[in-house]
Amino acid sequence: MDHHGLRRLLLFTIAIFFALPIGGKAFSAAPSPIIGTLERVSGTAAVVRQDQILLAKAGLEIQANDILRTGTDGSIGVAFHDDTFLSLGPGSVLVIDEFVYAPRQGKLSLVFRMIKGTAVYLSGLIAKLAPDSVRFVTPSASVGFRGTKFAVKVEER
C-alpha cells in the first residue's frame, strides 16, 4: 500500500471512530457467537466490534452487534450461517442488531439497521422458517420480509 493509501486508511479509521452512530447500545464483555463471514471485500471497509476497528478482509468472521462500514470506494459481501447473503455498496453503514439462528430451539431472529448507503439482501433460512422474525430497519422505515431478495438505498440526512 502506498503513502496515499495508508493516509486514506488512517483518515477512514479516525472517521469511523468519531462518527460512529451506536445509539447508546450497551455491549456485553463476553464475545458474541460467530454468525457469518465476509466473503468479498474491495476498497476501504471495516468492521466495528465493541471498541475495536477491524480492517475488513475476506474470511473475517462476523458477530452480532458488529457494525459494517464501507468507504467511498468500498464494498463487502457477507454470508450468514443461515444462508442469508448481504452486500453493501460504497459509503454504507449497517448495524447487525440481532441474529439468532437456533431452529431446533425455535429461536430465529434477524434485525439489520441500515444507517446509510446501499445494500442488497438475499434471504436465508431464518426468513423462510420465521418470516415475522426478520426486519430491516432504516431511518425512515422498518421493513418485514415476505420475499427473498431486495435492494435498499438510504440517503444521508
- Which domains does the chain possess? 3-22+34-154 (2.60.120)
Average pLDDT over residues 102-117: 94
Of the pLDDT bands very low, low, confident and very high (cuts 50, 70, 90), residue 5 is low
User: pLDDT tens digits, residue range 45-93?
Assistant: 999 999 899 999 999 999 999 999 999 999 999 999 999 999 999 999 9
Rounded Cα distance between 57 and 70, Å, is 12
Write down the pTM of the prediction: 0.77
User: pLDDT tens digits, residue range 135-151?
Assistant: 989 887 655 555 677 67
Predicted confidence (pLDDT) at residue 19 exceeds the cutoff of 50: no
What is the number of alpha carbons within 13 Å of residue 37 lying toward its C-beta? 5
What's the gap between Cα 1 and its chain centre? Answer: 26
Q: Which residue has the cell 486508511?
A: 9
Of 102, 104, 97, whose CA–CA distance to 142 is shortest? 97
Predicted confidence (pLDDT) at residue 94 exceeds the cutoff of 70: yes
pLDDT score of 25? 44
Predicted confidence (pLDDT) at residue 110 exceeds the cutoff of 80: yes
